[in-house]
Structure 1
């Protein structure tokens, strides 16, 4: 009897111990959900005009999805930004081709690749998400869909971009430039007053890329990924390296496992460095935001910054880097 009682009591204790972690985990998850941060907008690089636009909308009650779309549109329409939208540098054949994607809190997503003659590809990506059964449209199909949705065609090759391209044609030297002009792809994450998170990413890609090249920016899981229960991540830099590591998805999954946004970004960069012996020749950077409003950022080479807007304050923040050169 004594042995039987001992085994019975031991078994009950074991059951209690085995269930305790899940109870504690659920309790911690509920605490995070209840402790909502104030609305926040973060974006790759010093795109403070974009985060101010998104952040101001958030504080007026806009959804995270509306805010990220309007936020990145600021840079898509910025002619001085030669890596995003109108005025973007062309490929080596002189075509300005744009890539973009967007994700909503419910996990839905839309994307366009190799889109020509449309100034705001992020808005076309949202239409793909909301008006079609698809996630991604490409090339002529994407353009045809955009026109059907009421978007107007526009020549995106500005005089300055065309002049720079013709100068490049003289030698046709192609190599990635680290922190080119101190700005690149814009990826943005927003948390609204309801605590929902959304993200967007848009770019004209590498200057003078091969005709048809598509980078990480429109690829869900590479240039952008989010889970409304966990957080989100965006990438910038050499898209090929980001795609091969599925970097943004990796960061969100690491956060799901309990890593902070900073720890998750560092692990993602460490894996890219390990996988690429030539990592000294290119830049990759990530920005992550979890549901508690915590931000993380990490890059290969120093020089990367990210913009933040929260509670009426706008800032440009320096990211720590793998290389300290």
Structure 2
């Protein structure tokens, strides 16, 4: 039987390893995607997801997450949730509700508390120091405050043929309170159909929302395109269209997997991702925009990995 998992950024790799272990043991794709994303949410050195995520302009960590079942199209999502350990788990719980399945702000947080989810101060001392440093830099050097929008997005396929997509993000660093990006929005940040495949996005939400690229990739796969061909067509054609009409295109990267466990990615920036299936051991790759609407994909080097670990754990001065 076929199974597989793919997720955005190097930060997702440990979660992908866990997800593939569950899938190999015939666990459900929903359990696998939740475990994958929780692994990222729980790690304090990842600055754009969960515990350790960077806060908004007022120093408050607001988080977004979504969960979609590709068999039933059930969707649960939260936006601007605070003080909850694992927003992806709250989103999954909400997917069981026919009504009120997308909760925001105080309503999302209150729902999580009522349902017994673990309450936790998600703003770490390290993240608070980074916020203070950025405030000082903005004041002294008139810098653009916005930096960092690396959503963890994942797609899983289990041995029963079920597929699930999930996302989690603390959003744009220094965002205005209440700002929400593409991550919890169906069709934009994620989409999955077990009879076709799934896709998720990461990057500048304000620009990703202009294209609904996750749905478009799944639609193209449904018309017979491979995941790679679907990603290339959707991402690069929209990059060109947005540049022509809007004047510029922010950073965005998308991943996809179909019901056969085949995968693809496309990006307009340097982008890392982790993927594995029943035929390929989990591995980290790096992708860049190639020529003629193609994507250049290479294996990550140990030198790159060492530099990454050093960078994310460097002391905040």
Report the TM-score, using the length of structure 2 for normalisation: 0.85
2:2 counterpart of 1:43: no
2:95 counterpart of 1:95: no
| Separation of aligned partners in 2, 1:176 and 1:260 | 35
- Judged with a 3 Å threshold, the aligned counterparts in structure 2 of structure 1 residues 244 and 282 are, in CA distance, closer, same or farther, namely closer
2:35 counterpart of 1:65: no
5+ residue gaps, structure 2, are 297-317
Report the TM-score, using the length of structure 1 for normalisation: 0.83
Equivalent of 1:237, from 186, 203, 220?
203
Aligned partner of residue 199 in structure 1, secondary structure: strand
Alignment root-mean-square deviation, CA: 2.0
2:309 counterpart of 1:309: no
**Correspondence 1:97-176 to 2 at 5 A:** 97-104=62-69, 105-131=71-97, 133-172=99-138, 173-174=143-144, 176=146
Specify the alignment match of 1:251 in structure 2: 217
Give per-residue Cα distances to partners, 1:44-70, cap 9 Å, x unaligned: 111210101111111112100111011
Specify the alignment match of 2:157 in structure 1: 191
Moved over 6 A (4+): 278-281
> Which structure has the highest helix share of the two?
1
| Separation of aligned partners in 2, 1:218 and 1:164 | 25
Give per-residue Cα distances to partners, 1:10-56, cap 9 Å, x unaligned: xxxxxxxxxxxxxxxxxxxxxxxxxx5x2111101112101011111
| Separation of aligned partners in 1, 2:17 and 2:83 | 27
Aligned partner of residue 170 in structure 1, secondary structure: helix
Aligned partner of residue 209 in structure 2, secondary structure: helix
Deviation for aligned residue 1:127: 1.1
Is contact 1:297-1:320 (8 Å) kept? no
Specify the alignment match of 2:261 in structure 1: 293
Is contact 1:298-1:322 (8 Å) kept? no
Length, aligned pairs only: 284
Aligned partner of residue 5 in structure 2, secondary structure: strand
- Judged with a 3 Å threshold, the aligned counterparts in structure 2 of structure 1 residues 280 and 317 are, in CA distance, closer, same or farther, namely farther
2:177 counterpart of 1:211: yes
